[in-house]
Amino acid sequence: MRTQVAIIGGGPSGLLLSQLLHKRGIDTIVLERKTRDYVLGRIRAGILETGFVELMREAGVADRMDRECFVHDGTVISYGDNEFRIDFVEHTGTPVVVYGQTEVTRDLYDAREAMGGKIVFETEDVTIHDADSDAPYVTYTTHGQEHRIDCDFVAGCDGFHGVSRQTIPLTVRREYEKVYPFGWLGILSETPPVHEELIYAGSDRGFALCSMRNANLSRYYIQCSLSDSPEDWTDAAFWDELKRRLPAEHAEKLVTGPSIEKSIAPLRSFVTEPMRWGRLFLCGDAAHIVPPTGAKGLNTAASDIHYLYHGMVQHYLDGDDSGLDGYSEKALARIWKAERFSWWMTNLLHRFPDQSEFDLKMQQSEIDFLRSNREAQSVLSQNYVGLPY
C-alpha cells in the first residue's frame, strides 16, 4: 500500500489529523491496535479549549458538538467550606466547552467512515522503518498477515505506550518525568451534576473534582492512594468521601447513584524531546503527559495536530517545509507552558504525603491569594481556556 501520511493510533488525535488532511486532499491511512468499540469504551476528559473546538469545525465534525455541548464561562474552586468562582469570560473573553472525548472520537470515526477514510483496526507488530530517510515505511500484521505501507511521513499518535516514541533512538531523545504520589479514583454515574460548572475542591482529606458529561451523566473524582484499586471502593464509600471533600452546600444536594464506570488513574508529568525525528512526528500522549488537574491532556494533543496539520498543508500545497521543520520547537514551547500550568494546579489542590505544616500554610496562602487577586485569576483563566497556538 502507498499513502502520503501513515498515522499510528486511531484515537482522537490520529483521527482528527486524518480528517483535517483529507479535507485538504492529502491521503492518510490510520492504524489502530484495538477495535473501534474498544476505543469508544475508554472514558477520558471532556473539557475542550476554543482552539480544539475550532479544529473540529475546520474538520467538518462539529455539528453534534455544537448542539449538545455545555459552554462553561468559569469554574469554582473551593477549600473546605470556602469557595470562589473564576470567570473565564470576564478575564479572557473566552469560555471552554464540555463535550466528552468519547463523543469527539465517535464523531471523528463517523466522519472518516462517511468519507471513505482508511482505518485498519486490530493491528499488531506495528514497526516504523527508515524514519530518518526520505523513504519511510510501516509494517504491521492483521489476522496473521503482514502488510506494508510506504509513505512520505509518519505521525505517531499512539499514546505513551505506543511504538512511535520508542522508534526514536535513545541517543536522540531526552525524557523528562515527574510521577506524583497519588492517583485519581473516578466514577461515572447517571445522575445530574451537582453544579452547573466544574468544582475543583481542595480539602484536608485531599482533592476532589465534580465534572459532567451531560445533564444526566456526571463524572466525579477523588484523590486516592496509588496502592488502592477500584475494587477497594464501594459506591457508598466513594460518595461518602466525596461529600467530605466538598463545601457543605454542595455535599447536601449531591445526587448519588450506582456507578457505571469506576477506575483509578495515576498522575504523571512527562515530556520527550524532540517531537520529530526525520519523517516521524510525535503527537499527543506519544510525546507528553500532563496530570488531568488542568484539563490539558486532549487539548495539548490538539495543539500538536494544529501545528502538524498546517505544516503538512504547507509542504503539499505550497512546497514550503518551514512548518514541518519548526514543528517540534513550536509544539514543545506550548507544551511546556501547559505542563507548568497542570503541575501548578496539581500542587495547589492536592495533599502530598510529605507536606509539612509550613507547606500546608503556603498552599492555603496560595489559594487565598488566588481568591483575592484579579491578576492571579486572569493568569489561571488564560491558561485554562488555552494559550494561543
* DSSP letter string, 110-178: HHHHHTT-EEE-S-EEEEEE-TTSSS-EEEEEETTEEEEEE-SEEEE-S-TTSHHHHHS-TTT-EEEEE
Do the Cβ atoms of 205 and 80 come closer than 8 Å? no
Q: What strands lie across the sheet with 137-142, from one edge to the other?
A: 124-129, 137-142, 145-150
Bond into 258 cis (ω within 30): no
pLDDT at 9: 97
**How many angstroms separate the CA atoms of 89 and 353, rounded?**
36
**How many angstroms separate the CA atoms of 119 and 28, rounded?**
9
**How many angstroms separate the CA atoms of 21 and 317, rounded?**
11
pLDDT at 41: 82
In 3D space, the residue among 307, 264, 265 whose CA is nearest the CA of residue 282 turns out to be: 307
Task: Locate 388 and state its grid cell.
Answer: 494561543
**How many angstroms separate the CA atoms of 39 and 12, rounded?**
9
Do the Cβ atoms of 386 and 50 come closer than 8 Å? yes
Do the Cβ atoms of 350 and 223 come closer than 8 Å? yes
SS3 call for 40: helix
Do the Cβ atoms of 261 and 185 come closer than 8 Å? no
- Torsion on CA atoms 35, 309, 53, 289, rounded to nearest 10: 60
pLDDT at 349: 97
Beta strand 199-202 pairing with 74-79: parallel
pLDDT at 215: 87
Whether the CA torsion 43, 47, 51, 54 is positive or negative: it is positive
**How many angstroms separate the CA atoms of 144 and 40, rounded?**
25
Query: Using only C-alpha atoms, what is the Rg of the chain?
Result: 21
Do the Cβ atoms of 355 and 363 come closer than 8 Å? yes
pTM: 0.95
- Give the catalytic positions in this structure: 72, 200, 292, 296, 384
SS3 call for 5: strand
Do the Cβ atoms of 52 and 101 come closer than 8 Å? no
| Residue-level pLDDT, tens digit, the chain, 389 residues | 999 999 999 999 999 999 999 999 999 999 999 998 888 887 676 899 999 999 999 999 999 999 999 999 999 999 999 999 999 999 999 999 999 899 999 999 999 999 999 999 999 999 999 999 999 999 999 999 999 999 999 999 999 999 999 999 999 999 999 999 999 999 999 999 999 999 999 999 999 999 998 889 999 999 999 999 999 999 999 999 999 999 999 999 999 999 999 999 999 999 999 999 999 999 999 999 999 999 999 999 999 999 999 999 999 999 999 999 999 999 999 999 999 999 999 999 999 999 999 999 999 999 999 999 999 999 999 999 999 99
* DSSP letter string, 217-270: EEEEEEEE-TT--GGG--HHHHHHHHHHHS-HHHHHHPPP--EEEEEEEEEEEE
pLDDT at 45: 67
What CATH class does 5-49+100-177+268-345 carry?
alpha beta
List CB contacts of 384: < 8 A, sequence separation 6 or more. 75, 86, 88, 96, 294, 295, 341
Task: Locate 257 and state its grid cell.
Answer: 447513584
CA distances from 60 to 21, 70, 124 (A): 12, 19, 31
**How many angstroms separate the CA atoms of 161 and 104, rounded?**
22
Q: Which residue has the cell 479572557?
A: 92
